[in-house]
């Protein structure tokens, strides 16, 4: 098979950098151009110091983009929808890592993003980018909108329960602990090391936009509500979601094991982590750094019908670049784990 | 006023060390003896390196204890109830920092601690040690049982809502993020730095014993249930509780401000932290290191009747030694903030 | 004794905030005005969140400053020398925490700071602000220039050796590990949390300006040279200096103990930390957070005449605000430890 | 080419785990057995949680070892020399990651390790395991003794200077900052998270055993001495060496660039990192996590003949498992970077 020509629009940020790192080592990809208007002509390693000596590629301008097979879009919110026609001209397949094409309902979009969508007719052309839920559509789709990081871990943790109608639909509480790479590379007073180091910042106790994605993906027929909050901890990569799910019937450990196995036993990137002893009894984001796994564990509160589900991913991987590449593999009929085999470190 | 003679039983652990540090600088206290059976005859600074050059006191054995005015008990769970008669002979007033005398219901105690209480008749002699709830009883009491750290921050955050009957009684979800000092100074494979550093450990997703204290203090008439989980983060001191409270009526920001002011405006150690801008919009545990404050903030989810309450304390201070000293001050008619004026650091 | 009226010029930065915290609790000080041109009229806690509920003071403008007994200057480099006459009109005594009046030699100043000093005739009016070296002059002086943080710990660690002529004068290597609060509150791409967290940044391998202070204070007759480097680690407060000193004669442990005792046994803020066992065998900056101690330890390399000296301070305290207050106490005949009794935390 | 059969003796520790992770993904290796006497019969992921779902291999006992092509030894110091004959029977080629066969001089060995070597006649059969210095011998050797982590980064940073006779031979000061994974997985009071977190521990100011390796490799003709100290910082992986080298002639930036290029321009795993601007002007260990690079930067002190050299590696990779695999590739005529392509992360 010939290598596929791939370019990236918006490659100087964190997500773009992670994607470059993956694509450079993907056996079926010929990485051609990476744009950054502010870095045109400079070596990639000026933005991504880990790529020093790894590649001699330089940043291009969007205006220099040539036709290719696949275009990844890694721009700030709002940019993809603005110029999507241009990108469609350049490539048959597009994978957008921004939030622009995730929500399918126009009113919902307006409610959470505060403005009308500029290309409403395209929303349904983009498959929502969690392969575990939409693999079949991806296989034949030209457009994928990669899912939000917090949404991904929340949805994967909860999907079997909502799909099977086991959840009380409005009581779920999702409390995510996130690293600071989620905020991107724009610095501010708030991200200044002496202020942010050692902090536990309640940066979005309510109204986090990823809530809308969770609601969209977990509402089967009847609209659910989720009670979401996000706290930033002193780590760079990783998300840990502690989810309080209330079931509408008594479930035991073995029931939940069976449930997860039904949905995920063949999934290459989902692991159920629930140990009776040892150091790592539940998922831990630090073990997932660089990997594309979503680890899921759970504990039952025997007093109530509460199940505490603990989900974890690397927000840069399964929460962004890794999941986008997983979609790429599916769209091209490649083995789904190609270029995503890295297992994570221990210790780290 | 003559200084009060004070001794500590069990002073080589973290809580004991913090208490020593406070008592050494309290103007009305003459700190006499600190026991540790494993450290008898050694300088305090051998266990508490911050006290080098600060005091020349050495550890004693329990068998050497002399009569004093007040005895603080800082021993592992189960030790206080075993020998409480001995301590009552030695001092008129006792402040117990362990969990032994916190729960007032024998069945509840057995359920959560797995064994019968050894001194059931003494349970009601001990005032539950949160001054903001039980100040009047403390003034005339000889025995105080200091509250659990996670329980303290949860109860103080929620008290006005439950006291006023504003909460849906079974839906509250409390997700606390805790530092590693909560676990005490016993090392293990799990506390080994390469394993614990950078970790987000779901060490108690369900069944945390502090739940019982929260239920006890917030059930007014009808027994409530709380949905509690605890995650250990890579910090040493501090607790941040992210609490999802569902109210039985629509509340606005000003209603909640008014509610907290009603209960806490005269409280020296409670601050409402809710800023519209700036770096520190909600409570942050790192700002509380060494202080006795409990900071409380909140955000309303306008979609539902959810209020996300964010409470924070230093588990060693308002969660242990500081709160115990606050009780001491109340029991002796001293200004409540004596020896507890330290405001915390910034930056840190 | 009446309280002394004290004001601070430039109080919205980190050093200013630390000084405010100390002065508010000093029994002999009436803190009057704190200036910040960017924060005029706002509560102090807007810059220093730890001071919420602690003080109701607001920031003033320099133009509003009233006469007082002592003025502390906490401004960026270059500001003090520009307006020093104004400040001398306002107060009899001035303690400058900037670098403006530290160096006594004009050529040296120009060499390290790149421009001529604006008030050369005033340089010798300011006592270099390390009390352990210049206590007697401070007692009768009206002007003190507080020493640099890295310089302070290096000088105190080395002083007895150089004073006694025991050091090879050009071979000393000083490698300091510093926290990010040293850089102040100006944020940048370099201080952005995802970049700075977990980093070990060689921010000043050569040419650190504090070298000049070390040379000035340790050259007795013959000018020495020092080989200084500074590495920033992932901590906010604290300095650890690892110093490789080569002695001109064989020294044993007991010789060095004797040497340090000769110079420092009566010093309230210097501790020799050298344990054969236990966790904390040498100085540790985290134990010094908030304290004014300078801890010094050492180890002898028996192969050579090398002594590795390990010195540590809190850069905000003994390295800035604490040492300035220590000078204040000396200048006013107060007990030197007044307002500086805080011993530090363990664990932290 | 048929895959080579490889087994590991002592695979439950940190180094063993890292090596397993690499070998599992090496295209020319068939990983057969991994021994651990304490974990016999258990899945690898019980010790190495990152390998969950990655491999179904279980730990074996040494007594079960079968013949193979290459044996890696990852045991605590002293074990390899004890049983080396057994291992030589099992495999033609052996790569030992312990310190047992690093030093070639018997007296030196005894001096630093405190006992006679058990197999003195084998010392010279083992090539000292830094490929950049001993590549040619490795190509035809059956035995390699992998170098110490701190020694590796120090030697690679200094080698060109000493080889060319440019260094003052006794003045070099090496101050390394190390992570806690260097200490292995044995927990203790000292590694307990509340004690170790945020610490800067001077764990080996003098007498570090890696000094002996540095002396051995950098003494060309005349024995040098090195002044080494090691400080443990709050990180898990990584070494940063700040080296103060005094040259016997004035060198300029371009001279040193030329020097390094002469020795290292063809080296796949050495990068010279010296930027005039940007965030990462010198090597940073966090950028090297998981990579086999040794990054080297430098700054010249124009006042003296001092060059500050900053070297950095991942102690688990170029300092242990990665370098061992690099040797393996060389011994088998494989491309040297096979299985070692991982470039490191940014941000992390």
Report the pLDDT value the prediction gives residue C169, as an integer from 0 to 100: 85
Residues C111 and C174 in one domain: no
| Per-residue model confidence (pLDDT) at position A175 | 97
Given this model, what pLDDT does residue C17 score? 98
Alpha-carbon distances of C42 from A11, C9, C11, C33, C39, rounded to whole Å? 42, 15, 12, 12, 6
Give C302's pLDDT tier (boundaries 50, 70, 90): confident
Share of chain B above pLDDT 90, in %: 98
Residue of B nearest to D194 (CA): B236
Cβ atoms of residues D240 and D283 within 8 Å: yes
Centroid of chain to Cα A159: 15
| pLDDT, mean over chain C | 97
Of B188, B195, B236, the CB nearest to D194: B236
C-alpha to C-alpha distance for B214 and B225, rounded to whole angstroms = 9
| Shortest CA gap A155–chain B (Å) | 19
3-state secondary structure of A144: strand
Tell me the C-alpha distance between D312 and D239, whole Å. Answer: 5
Q: Give the per-residue pLDDT at B1.
A: 67
Q: Do B284 and C50 touch (CB under 8 A)?
A: no
Measure the CA angle with vertex D51, ends D47 and D57; round to 5°.
80
The answer to whether B40 and B61 are in contact (CB under 8 A) is: yes
User: pLDDT per residue over A140-198, tens digit each?
Assistant: 999 999 999 999 999 999 999 999 999 998 999 999 999 999 999 999 999 999 999 99
Distance CA B3, CA A12 (A): 66
Residues of chain D below pLDDT 70: 1
Do B170 and B127 share a domain, yes or no? no
Q: A22-67: per-residue pLDDT in tens? A: 999 999 999 999 999 999 999 999 999 999 999 999 999 999 999 9
The domain in which residue C255 lies consists of 150-313
Among residues D34, D63, D64, the alpha carbon closest in space to that of D47 is found at D34
Nearest to C345 among B50, B54, B278 (CB): B50
Dump the DSSP string for B277-306: SSS-SS--GGGGTT---EEEEEEEETTTTE
pLDDT tens, C8-54? Answer: 999 999 999 999 999 999 999 999 999 999 999 999 999 999 999 99
Per-residue pLDDT tens for C269-281?
999 999 999 999 9
**How, if at all, do strands D294-301 and C29-35 pair?**
unpaired
Evaluate if residue A238 carries a pLDDT over 90.
yes
8 A C-beta contact, residue D27 and residue D339: yes
**Partner-chain residue, chosen from B193, B198, B235, that has the shortest CB–CB distance to D191:** B193
Our CA-based measurement puts residue A180 at a distance from the nearest CA of chain C, in whole angstroms, of 6
Confidence label for C249 from pLDDT (cuts 50, 70 and 90) = very high
Q: Give the three-state DSSP class for A236.
A: coil
pLDDT band, very low/low/confident/very high, at C303 (cuts 50, 70, 90)? confident
Whole-number percent of chain C with pLDDT over 90: 98
Give the length of chain D. 348
DSSP-derived pairing of the beta strands B68-73 and B29-35: unpaired
pLDDT band at B181 (very low <50, low <70, confident <90, very high): very high
Q: CA angle, corner B146, sides to B141 and B150, nearest 5?
A: 145
For residues A62 and A164, state if they share a domain. no
**Nearest-CA residue of chain A relative to C238?**
A194
> Residue B237: closest CA among chain A residues belongs to which residue?
A198
Q: Is this model's pTM higher than 0.95 or not?
A: yes
The stretches of A272-343 forming alpha helices (DSSP H) are: 322-331
- Residues of chain D contacting C312 with CB distance shorter than 8 Å: 200
Q: Let me know if residue B340 belongs to a domain.
A: no
Are A193 and C196 a contacting pair at CB < 8 A?
Answer: yes
Question: For the domain that residue D136 is a member of, what is the CATH number?
Answer: 3.40.50.720
Please calculate the CA angle C326-C327-C332 and round it to the nearest 5 degrees: 100
- Give contacts of A293 with chain D, Cβ < 8 Å: 53
Residues A16 and A117 grouped into a single domain: yes
- Please state the three-class secondary structure of chain C as a single string: CCCEEEEEECCCCHHHHHHHHHHHCCCCEEEEEEECCCCCCCEHHHCCHHHCCCCCCEEECHHHCCCEEEEEECCCCCHHHHHHHHHHHHEEEEEECCCCCCCCCHHHHHHHHCCCCCCHHHHHHCEECCHHHHHHHHHCCCEEECCCHHHHHHHHHHHHHHHCCCECCCCCEEEEEECHHHHCCCCCHHHEHHHHCCCCEEEECCCCCHHHHHHHHHCCCCCCCCEEEEEECCCCCCEEEEEEEEECCCCCHHHHHHHHHHHHCCCCCEEECCCCCCCCCCCCHHHHCCCCCEEEEEEEECCCCEEEEEEEECCCCCCCHHHHHHHHHHHCCCCCCCCCCCCCCCCC
Q: Which residues on chain D are in Cβ contact (under 8 Å) with C189?
A: 279
Quick one: A192 and A131 in the same domain? no
Testing the interface with A: which of B108, B198, B235 to mutate, by most A Cβ within 10 A? B198
- Can you tell me the mean pLDDT for A209-217? 96
A86 in helix, strand or coil? helix
Do residues D161 and D73 both lie within one domain? Answer: no
In this predicted structure, what is the pLDDT of residue D141?
97
CB within 8 Å: D289 and A345: yes
Beta-carbon contacts of residue A164 (< 8 Å; ≥ 6 apart): A259
Q: Are D28 and D53 in contact (CB under 8 A)?
A: no
- Look at residue C341 and tell me if it is in a domain: no
In percent, the amount of chain A with pLDDT more than 90 equals 98
Express each pLDDT in C98-121 by its tens digit. Answer: 999 999 999 999 999 999 999 999
Instruction: Let me know if residue C295 belongs to a domain.
Output: yes
Instruction: Please list every residue in chain B whose beta carbon sits closer than 8 Å to the beta carbon of residue A229.
Output: 242, 244, 308
Contact assessment for residue D53 and residue A271, using Cβ atoms and an 8 Å cutoff: yes
Separation CA A190–CA C191 (nearest Å): 10
Pair of tokens at residue B143: 């025995």
Q: Which helix (H) or strand (E) holds A300?
A: strand A294-301
Domain count, chain C: 2
Cβ neighbours of A299 in B, within 8 Å? 202, 205-206
Nearest by CB: A236 against C189, C191, C197: C197
Answer whether A175 sits within 8 Å of B171, measured CB to CB: no
Q: Which residue in D233, D247, D218 sits closest to D147, CA to CA?
A: D218
pLDDT tens digits along B125-155: 999 999 999 999 999 999 999 999 999 999 9
Do the Cβ atoms of B197 and D188 come within 8 Å? Answer: no
CB-closest option in D52, D271, D290 to A53: D271
| Residue of A180, A202, A214 to mutate when probing chain B, most B C-beta within 10 A | A202
Residue D249, in any domain of the structure: yes
User: Number of residue pairs across A and D with CB atoms under 8 Å?
Assistant: 80
Beta-ladder partners of C144? C95, C127
| Interface residue of D178, D242, D246, D277 to substitute, partner C, most C CBs within 10 Å | D242
Residue C342 lies in a domain: no
Q: A325 to each of A17, A328, D237, how far by Cα in Å?
A: 13, 5, 28
Residue of B nearest to A347 (CA): B194
Residue B337 lies in a domain: no
Of B24, B53, B287, which has the smallest distance from its Cβ to C271's Cβ?
A: B53
Bridge partners of residue A272, in order along the sequence: A296
Q: Which of D49, D52, D347 sits opposite A181 (nearest CB)?
A: D347
D6/B214 Cα distance (integer angstroms): 57
- Residues of C carrying an active site annotation: 149
Residues B196 and B225 in one domain: yes
Q: In what order do the strands lie in the sheet with D91-96?
A: D59-60, D29-35, D4-9, D68-73, D91-96, D143-145, D127-128
Instruction: Name the E strands within chain B.
Output: 4-9, 29-35, 59-60, 68-73, 91-96, 127-128, 143-145, 173-178, 201-204, 227-232, 239-246, 270-272, 294-301, 306-313
Whole-number average pLDDT of chain A = 97
Please report whether residue C339 resides in a domain: no
Closest CA to D182 of D111, D99, D71, D109: D99
Contact predicate C93/C145, CB 8 Å: no
D155 and D304 in a single domain? The answer is: yes
Looking at residue B302, its pLDDT comes to 87
- Which candidate in A215, A229, A309 is best for mutational testing of the B interface (most B CBs within 10 A)? A229
In terms of domains, do B163 and B140 share one?
Answer: no
CATH number, domain with residue A311: 3.30.360.10
**How near does any CA of chain B get to the CA of D75, in Å?**
19
Residue B44: phi and psi, rounded to 5, are -55, -35
Residues B224 and B306 in one domain: yes
Evaluate whether residue A289 is within a structural domain.
Answer: yes
Which helix H or strand E contains A149, and what residues bound it?
helix A149-163
User: Has residue B45 got a pLDDT over 90?
Assistant: yes
Neighbours of chain C (3+ CB pairs under 8 A): A, B, D
Number of inter-chain CB pairs under 8 A, A vs B = 136
Q: Neighbours of D (≥3 Cβ pairs closer than 8 A)?
A: A, B, C
Is D346 close to A17, i.e. CB distance below 8 A? yes
B122 and B200 housed in the same domain = no
* A200/B235 CB distance under 8 A: yes
Judging contacts by C-beta atoms under 8 Å, the chain C residues touching residue B14 are: 346-347
- Average pLDDT for residues B54-73, to the nearest whole number? 98
Same domain, A154 and A289: yes
In chain C, residues with a C-beta closer than 8 Å to the C-beta of D347 are 194-195
């Amino acid at each position: 098979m010939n290598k596929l020509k791939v370019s990236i629009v918006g490659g100087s940020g964190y997500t773009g950098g992670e994607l470059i790192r993956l694509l450079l080592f993907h056996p079926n990809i010929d990485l051609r151009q990476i744009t950054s208007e502010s870095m045109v002509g400079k070596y990639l390693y000026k933005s991504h110091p880990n790529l020093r000596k790894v590649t001699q590629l330089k940043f291009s301008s969007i205006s220099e983009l040539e036709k290719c097979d696949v275009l990844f879009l890694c721009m700030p919110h709002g940019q993809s929808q603005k110029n999507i026609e241009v990108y469609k001209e350049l490539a048959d397949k597009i994978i957008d890592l921004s939030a622009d094409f995730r929500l399918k309902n126009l009113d919902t979009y307006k409610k959470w993003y505060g403005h009308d969508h500029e290309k409403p007719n395209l929303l349904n052309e983009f498959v929502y980018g969690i392969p575990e839920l939409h693999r079949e559509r991806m296989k034949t789709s030209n457009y994928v909108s990669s899912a939000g990081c917090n949404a991904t871990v929340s949805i994967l943790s909860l999907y079997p329960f909502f799909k099977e109608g086991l959840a009380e639909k409005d009581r779920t509480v999702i409390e995510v602990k996130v690293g600071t790479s989620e905020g991107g590379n724009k610095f501010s007073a708030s991200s200044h090391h002496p202020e942010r180091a050692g902090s536990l910042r309640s940066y979005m106790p309510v109204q986090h936009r990823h809530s809308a994605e969770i609601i969209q993906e977990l509402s089967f027929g009847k609209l659910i509500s989720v009670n979401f909050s996000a706290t930033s901890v002193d780590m760079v990569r990783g998300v840990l979601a502690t989810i309080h799910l209330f079931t509408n019937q008594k479930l035991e450990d073995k029931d939940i094991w069976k449930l997860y196995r039904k949905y995920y036993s063949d999934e290459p990137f989902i692991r159920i982590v629930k140990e009776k002893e040892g150091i790592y009894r539940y998922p831990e984001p630090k073990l997932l750094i660089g990997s594309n796994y979503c680890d899921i564990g759970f504990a039952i509160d025997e007093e109530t019908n509460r199940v505490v589900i603990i989900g974890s991913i690397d927000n840069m991987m399964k929460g962004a670049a890794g999941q986008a590449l997983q979609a790429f593999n599916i769209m091209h009929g490649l083995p789904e784990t190609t270029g995503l085999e890295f297992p994570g470190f221990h210790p780290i």
